[in-house]
Amino acid sequence: MAVVFEDFKFNRQILNAIADAGYTEATPIQQKAIPPILNGQDVMGIAQTGTGKTAAYVLPLMMKLKYAQGKDPRALILAPTRELAMQIEQNIKTFAAYTDLRTLTVYGGLGPKQQIEALGQGVDLLVATPGRFMDLYLAGHINTKPLQVLVLDEADKMMDMGFMPQINRILEVVPRKRQNLLFSATMSPKVHQLSGNFLEFPTVIEVTPQATPAETIAQSIYMVPGVKTKINLLRNILDNTEHINKLIVFCKTRTSAESVYKFLVRKYNEDEVKVLHANKGQNTRINSMNAFKNDEVKILVATDVAARGIDVSNVSHVINFDVPVVIEDYVHRIGRTGRAFQSGEAITFCNPAEEYYLKKIEKLIRQTIPVKELPAEVFVEKPEFEERQAQAREIDMQKRRENPEFKGAFHEKKAANTKTNKTTKKPGATGPRGNASKKTKPKRKF
């Protein structure tokens, strides 16, 4: 039986905003999380992006706070990236349309002056990245005493990005008596450790289709030897694929993203392509995302900073230029397409060193992704020596991870050569060429 939002006894202002946003039925995470949050319990929710988890904690939070009060924040929401923090703020503003609740997002990459001024005007729900929150707190601009609720969103990503020390410091400066909410896509050992320090007898909620891509997404893989062939294949796909409304090209590193971006700018121009990664200034990142959302550009090249928490409509294609090393990010990446029951296509380029992660992704999503033959017109180029070496080192590392006793391909080759040398030496041989009986020339006498 469908659960509607009226069942949660929200006030009329919140219900009207939910209706205006076009939502009628609660998602599974919302059905399970909203009642215990309203009751004041600590909650740990395990759910992927796109399951409606932001609304699952924002709606009961707003119901508990009810109206604007005082100057200092009463709820703090921590997020790993600026983009996700801004997305959460947008959600809050949507649902708070008929209330006087005040929300503010603070993050790094911009000067703090405007954020300090906004804090001075009063805020009820504060959304922050951990680093900027601590900077503003230590500078005396945030008073944590009135805090009633602390939320950690995308906790697994925060752990991956090394925020653990900052989060532990934040836990030391917020009131002991508070409600805690933790949401994560996976229950990694680090998240498990954090939950022990953070939550008091929590209600654990896990939404079952945790790592299942939407059925509306057509997935495929191309096996390629190296980066030059990836570029040639990307060119071929762009030249021969019809109906690309919007495309996100995901790369593993900032360097890779910059290389792909420069190639695409040469092929098109700067007005049709934008790039998004952590090395870009905050204004550039905001402008790139807005241009992509508003259909001003057709192609966005991004690292995984854009894979979580970003909701852009009408993305018809996602290309994984690199296979993600954090395998859960695959689901987040391809989840940018095929949204709201629309069809989408997700294409992955995979070199020999990336097959290890691809197998783990297939195990995670419980699917075998179809492998396609490279189009005949795609020029297959042999990788440069440095790239071949990097792939060999990566494959060695993967084998060591699976088998700690594995000593590496170089070690095996050296051992094999040593064994061969021993077996080919003649009896009595002592020199490197096995030629002990060779006469030496007598020294010349002067």
pLDDT tops 60 at residue 422 = no
On the question of pLDDT at 444 being above 80, the answer is no
pLDDT at 436: 46
Report the pLDDT averaged over residues 224-246.
92
Please report the pLDDT score of residue 213 as a whole number.
64
This prediction has a pTM of: 0.64
Q: What is the pLDDT of residue 145?
A: 96
Range name among 293-297, 309-313, 406-410, 442-446 with the lowest pLDDT average: 442-446
Query: Tell me: the pLDDT tens digits for 72-100?
Result: 999 999 999 888 898 899 999 999 999 99
Query: Which pLDDT value is given to residue 311?
Result: 66
Question: Using one digit for the tens of pLDDT, what is the confidence trace for 127-150?
Answer: 999 999 999 999 999 999 999 999
First to last CA, the chain: 110
Question: Does residue 443 register a pLDDT over 60?
Answer: no
pLDDT for 411 equals 53
Residue 43 scores a pLDDT above 80: yes
Which tens digits make up the pLDDT trace of 160-193? 778 888 999 999 999 999 999 999 877 777 788 8
Residue 434: predicted pLDDT: 46
Please give the average per-residue pLDDT across 278-283, as a whole number.
Answer: 72
- What pLDDT score was predicted for residue 409? 61
* Mean pLDDT, range 98-103, rounded to an integer: 96
pLDDT of amino acid 198 = 83
137, 76 in Cβ contact below 8 A? Answer: no
Domains along the chain with CATH numbers: 5-206 (3.40.50.300), 217-384+394-399 (3.40.50.300)
Structure confidence at residue 192 (pLDDT): 80
The answer to whether the beta carbons of residues 335 and 114 sit under 8 Å apart is no
Range in 110-119, 225-234, 246-255, 308-317 the model is least confident about: 308-317
- What local confidence, expressed as pLDDT, does residue 445 receive? 46
Highest average pLDDT, of 184-193, 335-344, 347-356, 397-406, comes from 347-356
Where is pLDDT greater, at 429 or 57? 57
Measured CA to CA in angstroms, residue 366 lies from 74, 142, 212, 329 at distances of 42, 46, 8, 15
pLDDT value of residue 65: 95
Residues 302-321 have a mean pLDDT of: 78
Q: What are phi and psi of 181, to 5 degrees?
A: -130, 130
Supply the pLDDT for residue 446. Answer: 40
